[in-house]
Structure 1
């Protein structure tokens, strides 16, 4: 079978009622532990992101780290981390944002991005888009030219893509 015919959804485990009742969790750990499927997924992400010619990938804590690190290596670009408060050493810049259930904030090291660098923001999942929107805002605050966003999974029924003002690439979609 050619890689074009591989359905990556068959490697993503669905776990009902996690982390709380009523939530259907899409577990990429089952994809990652299958060496062939993981290589195919990374190849497809690389093909999707490469046309944006990023200087840097910005990985959202923590599952975004899992996709961004191998992808940055494949693309030959740098990697920066967007983290929760108190997780990065040195001076940081933060951005607070509202969620359905409260608020949160993301931080980046103040010197992580050079003004004008082309950046693609990476996470494992696009749902309502709140975290990705906040990430784009934070990256722009430190001078990044955010050229796109990429995720492994998109829950299309939650409308997150429509909240973003950058192009978005995803590998698999679910109508949730």
Structure 2
């Protein structure tokens, strides 16, 4: 049960007053909402994010996908392997740099995009937000992430000095 945040004196020790806890809960709710929508596509939520990145721009280096999604190679490699086993993507060595592996959509992977449109629509409906509200909330969260990333980078720089 969620209660109202207390006053400023005890704000930091109330769980429901924590912004991070609200975002954490929302993230879990999103994951639970996506799960039944993605099951017919044969995708997990992280796999779905990889597919979206590839639908935006096919034939990407693994590193670029990891950077875009904020995933390290230890998380991304097994995920890509499962997508490859499902026949949705293929791996190939870069002709210019053999050390680099690129990920390409297969025909099956490209065709899956048409089905994914229904997922986006269902999530939009589940949020109860208008398109404009959803975009404004997304923009606020992106800005928050950028501020937190910058603050973390500044702390790392200061602690290294």
Which structure has the highest strand share of the two?
1
TM-score, normalization: structure 2?
0.28
Which structure has the highest helix share of the two?
2
